[in-house]
Structure 1
């Protein structure tokens, strides 16, 4: 038996993937991080729920401590994987966490770093880590159909604070925060790939456009309408997928069904290059160091 820790498993493609993972791998125990009672319908002999507020540094830290205690006490089997599938897309760039960080950055980037940093010391190799990203980080018409703005990179300290984009109260700023956070997540995967111990790999995973998921629930009425209805016909094209199809592909990637070297970008079912902009060792190191500064301060 072995354990996988997963975020974003209570709805959308993550919910599909969680069910598929348990079905396909009878030796897997799933630790689901979720707020409150949102994951109760997944509870079972091979599922442990851990309360976690991914928008809170202390909340993530508490979840990591709980997982480490479960492992140390033998309540769950050895840890061999992490799937960071949770994400938010908001209607502006002003939403602020209790720690003072912009919420999109906090959930899509910082929480993944804190979880990985906290879990790596208790992993049992061979182990696989995965972070769900998005092809919107390309920022071009081919990948977004003109529905999302291109990412706008700044110093990590700027990206982490509310109001870090032009016209921060606008929907465009919220969407820019999202595409930039997904670019940052790929940078983070690249940097972690350089730092992980032998036998531990990490990949970024792009599910493509998946209409009618819960991702846009906080994106305002226009954003929710677009994701729920206006993009549904795209699910019939190669550019998008259904929640069921995307969830099964996510499960494939988590289980290693795609032969993906550490640090690589998995686009649904194949390894390919992420955007040219996403390969920048200087940015990646700077981002990692900024996130480590936050983590160190929280643990002081």
Structure 2
């Protein structure tokens, strides 16, 4: 049975381009999006690209854990609920102060990590042996030596990372780097917990993609410059890639037969590479898992014995 791939943040950028690649290969898709109009527009683009594609839409707002819970319930209520893969692609970067999620958590941490944590763990019983989870991280978690000067993470206790505070644009970029380090911790912990079930979990660095909308929070001059300089940046910057190239690599991680037994790894493009030395700290990964579970249950008022 050709099981569907669920992609978060699939209405634009890397998520949409990855969906197009998979649709052309005949892979059924579930697009997790928080904007209905943009989601429908994305579906139409995919169908223009691959007219025979099977594309379902899933209402999913990662900044709201109740929305994530409702999406998990909807997935379980599908006629055939099993999933072939979950691609945790959605992400945001905030450079204009501090924002909070619907549940009162720092928004970058909430969307980039906590919402995906709730989604994936809530769908545990829909994933069987051979299924995959791919978590889109970034080399910004490795600090300036790998990210062309982007601020390094400043890891703190997970509850502190989830707590909003006063901040500047630089603090927002540090929060983004922390969230991408959290993505790697989540990947490694999930791979350890689910490894005996035959489910593979890997992290993916798509590189700097000047064509995408991740810079939408930056001032207008920076956004315009980024857009017009994109072709040049892709040619001259070692970490820059086209969206098409990164989408092909991400689709391969989600379905490529060569990776059937590969788990708990970090990929930059199609290359398996080491993540940051601090990302291999098992105590931090375990603490992040425990606290994330507690934060989800607290926000949704779920007793400890329940997960959905």
Pairwise same-fold verdict (TM > 0.5): yes
Contact preservation (8 Å) 1:93, 1:102: no
Structure 1 residue matching 2:197: 3-state secondary structure? coil
Matching of residue 240 in structure 1 with residue 244 in structure 2: no
Cα contact 1:55–1:103 (8 A) shared by 2 = yes
CA distance in 2, matches of 1:19, 1:270: 22
User: 1:1-300 maps to which residues of 2 (within 5 A)?
Assistant: 1-24=2-25, 26=26, 28-35=27-34, 36-41=36-41, 42=43, 46-70=54-78, 73-74=79-80, 78-92=82-96, 94-141=98-145, 143-146=146-149, 148-163=150-165, 168-196=166-194, 197-221=196-220, 224-225=223-224, 227-230=226-229, 232-237=231-236, 238-256=238-256, 259=259, 261-297=262-298, 298=300, 299-300=302-303
Residues 191, 288 of structure 1: 8 Å contact kept: yes
1:221 CA drift (Å): 3.5
Deviation readout 1:91-132 (Å, 9 max, x if unpaired): 145111111001100010001100110111121321111010
- Secondary structure of the residue aligned to 2:114 is helix
CA contact (8 A) 2:210 2:230 kept: yes
TM-score by length of 1: 0.90
Instruction: Give distance in 2, aligned partners of 1:187 and 1:223.
Output: 31
Q: 1:93 to 1:104 in 2, by over 3 A?
A: farther
Query: Which structure 1 segments of 5+ residues have no match?
Result: none
TM score, norm. by length of structure 2: 0.88
User: Aligned equivalents of 2:225 and 2:117: distance in 1?
Assistant: 30
| Structure 1 residue 253 displacement after superposition | 1.5
Q: Quick check: 2:153–2:178 contact (8 Å CA) kept in 1?
A: yes
Q: Distance in 2 between matches of 1:112 and 1:122?
A: 15
Looking at structure 2, the residues matched to 227 and 152 of structure 1 have their Cα atoms a distance apart, in angstroms, of 26
Quote the Cα distance in structure 1 between the aligned partners of 2:218 and 2:108.
11
Task: Count the aligned residue pairs.
Answer: 288
Distance 1:245 1:128, change over 3 A: same
How far 1:37 sits from its partner (Å)?
2.1
Query: Residue deviations 1:185-209, cap 9 Å, x none?
Result: 1011111111115110100001111
Q: What is the CA distance between 1:286 and its match in structure 2? A: 0.6
Whether the 8 Å contact between 1:52 and 1:63 is mirrored in structure 2 is yes
Shift of 1:256: 2.6
- Where does structure 2 lack aligned partners over 5 or more consecutive residues? 48-52, 304-308
